Amino acid sequence: KQAKGVIESEAKRCGMNWVSERWLGGMLTNFSTIRKSVKRLQNIEKQETDGTFEKITKKERLFLTRERDKLKKILEGVETMGKLPGVVFVVDIKKEDIAVKEAKRLNIPVFAIVDTNCDPDDVNYMIPANDDAVKTIELIVKHMADAVIEGLAKFKERRAEEVADRERARKEHHEESDQTEEKKVSKKHLKRKDRKEENIPEEKKDAEETETSSEN
């Protein structure tokens, strides 16, 4: 509860998914079912805007609205998560032990705030701190968000460099190919010239040489 607000705001700031309500069992280990729930929510929201709600009974609308609200509450923060995360950050591992166990089962690294009353065995990267102190939680969560933003920036920079390197290599390859082709054409031309000279009759060659000597 203490961390709910800061987790939501910092996750949005760094563009990551989050869970601030109750962790649904199977959110990681049964991810396909979670995606089905997300699609169900999206379908209900679509019906609200495409005129379907106007064609159904009041009772049906009420039922769908309640289902939508329930799904939005439990799926908020993970609705856009199209695949399993590469890492999980947990504020209270004692309360969210299911999340930690699911991550461990799927070999997903866990970063977590670890208090003195917690078992850190399933945590890959521990942050020793009081998970009940709001200011402490805010400080750590903000640092985590900053690290994500910095990491994403470096990733984009590296990707841009890789693209530039590939483009440079492609141009160099084309230039080498063009030079090779020019050499081939030049060699073909020389071979043709040599063949022509070989085919000139000896008398003609002598005449040409004599004519050249006379001119001199």
pLDDT confidence tier of residue 143, bands split at 50, 70 and 90 = very high
Gap between the Cα atoms of 102 and 35, Å rounded? 17
Q: Do 92 and 166 fall into the same domain? A: no
Taking only the tens place, the pLDDT of each residue in 49-87 is: 998 898 999 999 999 999 999 999 889 999 999 999 999
Q: Do 186 and 145 fall into the same domain? A: no
- 188 by DSSP, 3-state: which? helix
Q: Do 104 and 40 fall into the same domain? A: yes
Q: Is the pLDDT reported for residue 160 higher than 70?
A: yes
Q: Is the pLDDT reported for residue 198 higher than 70?
A: no
Gap between the Cα atoms of 34 and 46, Å rounded? 18
Q: The CATH number of the domain where 147 resides is what?
A: 3.40.50.10490
Gap between the Cα atoms of 99 and 215, Å rounded? 101
Q: Give the whole-number percent of the chain exceeding pLDDT 70.
A: 81
Residue 215 lies in a domain: no
Q: Give the whole-number percent of the chain exceeding pLDDT 90.
A: 57
Q: Is the pLDDT reported for residue 213 higher than 60?
A: no
Q: Is the pLDDT reported for residue 25 higher than 50?
A: yes
pLDDT confidence tier of residue 178, bands split at 50, 70 and 90 = low
Q: Do 122 and 54 fall into the same domain? A: yes
Q: What is the pTM of this model?
A: 0.70
- Structural domain for 177, as ranges: 160-200
- The full 3-state SS of 98-152, as one line of letters, equals HHHHHHHHCCCCEEEEECCCCCCCCCCEEEECCCCCHHHHHHHHHHHHHHHHHHH
The pLDDT score that the predictor gives to residue 190 is 61
DSSP class of 24: P
Gap between the Cα atoms of 180 and 107, Å rounded? 51
Q: What's the total number of domains in the chain? A: 2
CA-closest candidate to residue 15, choices 191, 155, 121, 200: 155
Q: Are strands 110-114 and 88-90 parallel, antiparallel or unpaired?
A: parallel
Q: Do 119 and 189 fall into the same domain? A: no
List 64's β-bridge partners, or say none. none
Calculate mean pLDDT across residues 179-208.
60
Residue 212 lies in a domain: no
- The number of beta carbons lying within 10 Å of the beta carbon of residue 52 is 15
Q: Do 12 and 54 fall into the same domain? A: yes
Element (H, E) at 155: helix 134-199
Q: Do 107 and 148 fall into the same domain? A: yes
Calculate mean pLDDT across residues 15-42.
92
33 in Cβ contact with 167 (< 8 Å):
no
Looking at per-residue confidence, does 153 or 183 come out higher? Answer: 153
Q: Do 15 and 44 fall into the same domain? A: yes
pLDDT confidence tier of residue 216, bands split at 50, 70 and 90 = very low
Looking at per-residue confidence, does 196 or 69 come out higher? Answer: 69
